[in-house]
Amino acid sequence: MTDEVMLMSGYVLIPLLPLMAFLTLALGGRWLRGKSHKIAIPAIGLSFGLSIGAFIEVVRNGAISIPLYRFIQSGSLIVDLGLYIDQLTVLLLILVTGVSSIVHVYSSRYMIGDPRYNRFFALIALFTFSMIMLVMSNNLLLLFIFWEVMGICSYLLISHWAERKSACQAATKAFLVNAVADVGLGFGVILTFATFGTLDIQQILAQAESMSGQTINLLGWAGIDWPVHTITLITLFLFMGALGKSAQIPFHVWLPFAMEAPTPVSALIHAATMVNAGPFLLVRLSPLVVLSPVTMTVIMIIGATTALFAAVVSLTQSDIKKILAYSTISQIGFMIMMCGIGAFVAAIFHLMAHGFLKAFLFLSTGNALQSVQAHGHPQSDVDHGPTSRPAWSLYIGALILACIPPFVIFSGPYEYLWTVHHFASAKFVFWVIGLATVFFTAMYLFRGITLLFQGGPSVRHSESGTSLVVQPHLFSPSHLLGLFIGGVMLVSFLMVLWGWFVQFLAPALGQPVPLLDEPTPPGGISLWILLPLVVAFGGWGLAYYLHIKSRPSFLAQSEWGKTLYVLFLNKLYFDEIYEVYVVQPTLRFSTWLWKTVDVGGIDHFITGIARVSVKLACWLWQVVDVRGLDRGVVGLGRQTVRFAHWLWQTVDVKGIDRKVAGIGGQTVNLARWLWQVIDIRGIEKNVERLGREADATGHLLQRIEPRTLQHHLLVMIFWLVAAIGLFYWLVR
């Protein structure tokens, strides 16, 4: 092994360290308890350091690939696991390990005194491991595995406070919604294998171009010709998995409920890292995805819809964590939309920025919540919030968050992308959706933070949308000026960063949009960038205006406004619709199926056969045996007696007796004696007694439980004897 290879395999430590931390805490957590973070923090920190090392390495020498071991070999299915570190991976690595280290440090204070302190740290270490593996995996199967392991980590962490029923339900819900979506991902993986014959991502991407013409006839079984591009099918199914993890419509319902998790978990998993798996997957497979215009359009539409929808919903929520959750959904919708128009670099840029910022917002919120909770208030519907310094950090974070997506997306190089797939009117629609999302984002962030920190006693009524009160004194002109200068500096910084970013990420992505004839080199900046900024400030201003006026807003005064408000307050009733039309019917159907079909149908039928055979046996015994044969025998006895009687009367007495008169008297006497003693008393009584006894035995048999041991034994022995007899007979 050369030195270089040794050095390379050092990067295996990036996932290995969190894994070791997890194993230590999982196996020895009982003894560590309060000291658990002392194991986890160094491990994740080191992992972060190594990620930076990997970053430098990749900047210098390009992608690194580290083979691990052969996972499965079965005929044509060969799965070699390995790590693949390219430009995309290192960025994600820095995000994941960076946010994870911060969250670890933060949690070591935040979770103090928690009875399951060690479990918490073990699980976030495991989560970090699986997310690292997800971004490093060279293989779709490996990606799928850690995709699911992340899901189970999320499940276990959402149910961290398992005493709360709502937390348990949220956990189950999160996993099951994802499970449905992951059918798509899993099926996509299998379809990919069926198409490409390999699961290695780089090999798939290399072959992608050559497969672009292949079609599948979807309705072939019905005799209808409906060819669909294989790649369209694959990417749509893979995208379905991305929808679940990244909480996009229609699978977004789990994320707001996932806020039942401790706040550091919300920051790490449900804002910064795991939910980014969807855009990551799309960018990772971008050379494949761009080959299908259908998929690109679907991605774009779903992303845009989610972005706008979640932004508006976020505006109506009263729980700060739910506001942030919908904000996350909306922002990821934005990323997905960018992927849909081919702006993969922009998506990743936004992903990175959003990841750090959202984690920051959540952690600040956690601080605020903790100080509020110290005053005895629940997490939601915060009132009497402390007016404190964290507020300013939140405001700045919010501003950046509101401006980044538009900044990236409206900057010059990607302007041409608005003419999506030669569909000119789309340009206008996405401009509107993009700007509207920016507007609402600024609005809800302002509102949420204001609610948290400056909410007066009347904030509780904010749910009815009638009165929103805020103390306006915080916004002195100097503050606003500071904010403005800070904003401008940040934007300039981001512009410089962006220029570098586009160059850096290019090798990992391949050709972004093959549909374009002459792609302009990205990196330039146009004045269009100011538009979203203006819109963002506009949203901020409107929120401020609405809050500062302690009178009902114009929306609340009109009927349709109220209807709309209620509609969005209830998130368009997605949860209720799923509950009524999916969950309940499934449960009812399963109960019905069990009671009616399984127990009432199949089981009843088969026990019915048994019952019928028992009845047949009873009937055989009663009718044929007792009534038929037995009576026959008894009757024969009677007939014999009658015949004897007749013989005696007719032949004996009338005929012979008279003829043989001499000995007649004696004979008659003898015959009478014979008849009386032997015939009637003897035979007839015997026969009748036999009948009665048979009856009695029958009753006795009936009284014996047919379930006794002897009975079973008899049955079994009978069968065995029969079987062996049959066997011998046949073999002979």
Partner 1 sequence: MSSIFADHILSWMIATPFLGIATLAFVQNQEWIRRVALVSTLINVGLSLLLWAGFDFTNQGMQFVERREWMPTFNIQYAVGVDGISILLVLLTALLCPLCVLCSWTAITTRVRAFMMLILLVEGAMIVVFTALDLFLFFMLWEITMIPMYFMIILWGGPDRIAAGIKFVLYSLTGSLLLLVGILGLYLEGGRTFDIVALTNHTYPSDVQFWIFLAFFLAFAIKIPMLPFHTWLPDAHAEAPTAGSVLLAGVLLKMGGYGFLRFCLPMFPEASAQFAPFILWLSIAAIIYGGYMALAQSDLKKLIAYSSISHMGFVTLGIFVFNRQGIQGAILQMFNHGITTGALFLAVGQLYDRTHSRWISDYGGLHKTMPRFATLFCLFSVASFGLPGTCNFIGEFLVLIGTSFKSFVMVLLAMGGIVLAAAYMLWMLQRVALGEPNTKAASLLPDLTRRELATVIPLAILVFWIGLYPGPLMEMMDASVTQLLEQTKGIQSTVIALNASWP
Tell me which residues touch partner 1 (CB under 8 A).
69-75, 77, 141, 144-149, 152, 155-156, 159, 162-163, 165, 168-169, 171-172, 175-176, 179-180, 183, 186-187, 190-191, 193-194, 216-218, 220-221, 586-587, 589-591, 593-595, 598, 602-603, 606-607, 610, 707, 709, 712, 715-716, 719-720, 723, 726-727, 730-731
Cα 563 to chain centroid distance, Å, stands at: 32
State which residue, 185 or 451, has the beta carbon closest to partner 1.
Answer: 185
Q: What does the alpha-carbon distance between residue 437 and residue 330 come to, in Å, rounded to a whole number?
A: 8
State which residue, 280 or 440, has the beta carbon closest to partner 1.
Answer: 280
Q: Which two tokens stand for residue 115?
A: 């009875």
Closest alpha carbon to 347 in 251, 442, 417, 244: 417
Q: How far apart are CB 609 and partner 1 at their closest, in Å?
A: 9
Q: How far apart are CB 104 and partner 1 at their closest, in Å?
A: 22
Q: Which residues contact 508 (CB under 8 A, 6 or more apart)?
A: 63, 86, 87, 88, 89
* Kind plus residue range of the DSSP H or E element containing 227: strand 227-229
State which residue, 374 or 730, has the beta carbon closest to partner 1.
Answer: 730
Q: How far apart are CB 265 and partner 1 at their closest, in Å?
A: 16
Q: How far apart are CB 149 and partner 1 at their closest, in Å?
A: 5
Q: How far apart are CB 148 and partner 1 at their closest, in Å?
A: 4
Q: How far apart are CB 188 and partner 1 at their closest, in Å?
A: 11
State which residue, 146 or 446, has the beta carbon closest to partner 1.
Answer: 146
Contact (Cβ atoms closer than 8 angstroms) between residue 55 and residue 94: yes
Closest alpha carbon to 136 in 94, 82, 188, 97: 82
State which residue, 162 or 566, has the beta carbon closest to partner 1.
Answer: 162
Q: What does the alpha-carbon distance between residue 657 and residue 670 come to, in Å, rounded to a whole number?
A: 12
Q: How far apart are CB 156 and partner 1 at their closest, in Å?
A: 8
Q: How far apart are CB 51 and partner 1 at their closest, in Å?
A: 23
Enumerate the H helices of 510-630 as residue ranges: 530-548, 554-557, 559-569, 574-578, 584-592, 604-619
Q: How far apart are CB 618 and partner 1 at their closest, in Å?
A: 17
Q: How far apart are CB 712 and partner 1 at their closest, in Å?
A: 7
Strand 227-229 vs strand 215-217: parallel, antiparallel, or unpaired? antiparallel
Cα 126 to chain centroid distance, Å, stands at: 18
Burial (Cβ within 10 Å: 0-12, 13-18, ≥19) of residue 694: middle
What does residue 227 show for φ and ψ, rounded to 5 degrees? Answer: -70, 140
State which residue, 157 or 336, has the beta carbon closest to partner 1.
Answer: 157
> Could you give the C-alpha distances from 605 to 444, 547, 590, in angstroms and in order?
61, 69, 20
Contact (Cβ atoms closer than 8 angstroms) between residue 287 and residue 212: no
Q: Which residues contact 626 (CB under 8 A, 6 or more apart)?
A: 694, 695, 698
Q: How far apart are CB 334 and partner 1 at their closest, in Å?
A: 29
Q: How far apart are CB 243 and partner 1 at their closest, in Å?
A: 15
State which residue, 541 or 706, has the beta carbon closest to partner 1.
Answer: 706
Q: Which residues contact 293 (CB under 8 A, 6 or more apart)?
A: 421, 515
Q: How far apart are CB 46 and partner 1 at their closest, in Å?
A: 23
Q: How far apart are CB 603 and partner 1 at their closest, in Å?
A: 4
Q: What does the alpha-carbon distance between residue 186 and residue 299 come to, in Å, rounded to a whole number?
A: 18
State which residue, 199 or 509, has the beta carbon closest to partner 1.
Answer: 199
- Our separate counts of H helices and E strands in the chain read 30, 4
Q: What does the alpha-carbon distance between residue 310 and residue 603 come to, in Å, rounded to a whole number?
A: 49
Place of tokens 């007649």: 664
Q: What does the alpha-carbon distance between residue 99 and residue 48 come to, in Å, rounded to a whole number?
A: 9
State which residue, 59 or 716, has the beta carbon closest to partner 1.
Answer: 716
Q: Which two tokens stand for residue 547?
A: 């809050």
State which residue, 60 or 165, has the beta carbon closest to partner 1.
Answer: 165
State which residue, 4 or 225, has the beta carbon closest to partner 1.
Answer: 225
State which residue, 191 or 311, has the beta carbon closest to partner 1.
Answer: 191
> Could you give the C-alpha distances from 19 to 29, 79, 233, 366, in angstroms and in order?
14, 22, 35, 27
Q: How far apart are CB 274 and partner 1 at their closest, in Å?
A: 15
Q: What does the alpha-carbon distance between residue 89 and residue 134 come to, in Å, rounded to a whole number?
A: 9
State which residue, 75 or 477, has the beta carbon closest to partner 1.
Answer: 75
What does residue 66 show for φ and ψ, rounded to 5 degrees? Answer: -120, 110
Outline where DSSP puts E strands in 75-130: 77-85
What Rg do the C-alpha atoms of the chain give, in angstroms? Answer: 41
State which residue, 168 or 205, has the beta carbon closest to partner 1.
Answer: 168
State which residue, 507 or 600, has the beta carbon closest to partner 1.
Answer: 600
